[in-house]
Amino acid sequence: MRVTVMSALLCASVVLADGPSAAEISKNARERGALNLVGLKADLKLVSTGADGKSKEQVLTSTSKTIGGKSHALARFSSPSGVAGVAVLTIAGEQGQGDDVSLYLPKLKRVRKVARSDRGKAFMDTDFSYADIGSNGTRDEDTRKLEDAKIDGHDCYVLEGKGDETSPYGAVKMHIDKQTWVPILVEYADKAGKPLKRYRTLKLKQFKERVLAAESVMENLQTGTRTQMTVLKLEESTLGDEAFTDRALERG
């Protein structure tokens, strides 16, 4: 929803060889992010709270599918009326390249590409960025596995990676629950190495054979803002490959 859906400075550490690789852990974790639920359709509520304490709510539907070996994530907003019909399609880039992001604006009745230089901008005025939708802001080849840790009672794999040239992040440190693959805590640093954002899973939910993040929050540590995400409804996705194209965005 390299979640959809994420830190301290990189430190010297020996790469751990036991268990799944860093790339395998990262891939599994991405598919548990509410903005990148592979094979599922989720109705989501986003509540963004500013530094002044004022909040606004948005509702959207998110789904994801693997096509040609690449993740395709689709998000479409339904409320409030000012954003109803806005849709975002994120297609994973080739190894070492940024994602391809298309934005459909119903008022303009056209699709535009989100420039790679804009991937760090806020996703629909929330604390998530466009870089958070389909990936975690890092490249697999630059991600390494650190010593395991326990976070909020969860035994976690710990990954640390560098942001690529299209990422707003200088470093990303992820704590992934070993049993469910759900990211429990993700910490982001900016390009200068200063703490930038923090993502936390607040509540887990089981859907058939999978456990997912039912409630989570992204906090901007520099602005004092936060966005809480809640899964309202889950079901199996029935969308075909053609739904994950720019042309389909315009059809609604």
| Residue range 16-55, pLDDT digits in tens | 446 899 888 988 887 666 566 788 999 999 999 999 999 9
Which segment of 66-80, 160-174, 204-218, 233-247 scores lowest on mean pLDDT?
Answer: 160-174
151 is written with which tokens?
């976070």
Mean pLDDT of 173-202: 95
In a domain, residue 127? The reply is yes
The CA distance from 190 to 169, in Å, is: 5
Q: Is residue 93 part of a domain?
A: yes
Please tell me the predicted confidence (pLDDT) of residue 16: 42
Cα–Cα distance between 30 and 20 in angstroms, integer? 15
Distance CA 47, CA 57 (A): 4
What would the pLDDT profile of 224-247 be if each residue is shown by its tens digit? 999 999 999 999 999 999 999 999
Residue 95 pLDDT level (bands cut at 50, 70, 90): low
Q: How many domains, in total, are found in the chain?
A: 1
- Provide the percentage of residues in the chain whose pLDDT is more than 90: 58
- Report how far residue 137's alpha carbon sits from residue 139's, in angstroms, rounded to the nearest whole number: 7
Distance CA 66, CA 186 (A): 24
13 in a structural domain:
no
Residue 43 pLDDT: 95
Which pLDDT value is given to residue 27? 80
Q: Which domain holds residue 100?
A: 22-236
Let me know if residue 163 belongs to a domain. Answer: yes
| DSSP single-letter state for residue 116 | G
> Is 10 domain-assigned?
no
Residue 9 inside a domain? The answer is no
pLDDT digits (tens, 9 = 90+) for 128-185: 998 887 666 666 667 899 999 999 999 999 999 987 777 889 999 999 999 999 999 9
C-beta separation of 101 from 76 below 8 A: no
Would you say residue 32 lies in a domain? Answer: yes
Which CATH number belongs to the domain containing residue 99 in this structure? 2.50.20.10
| 16 occurs within a structural domain | no
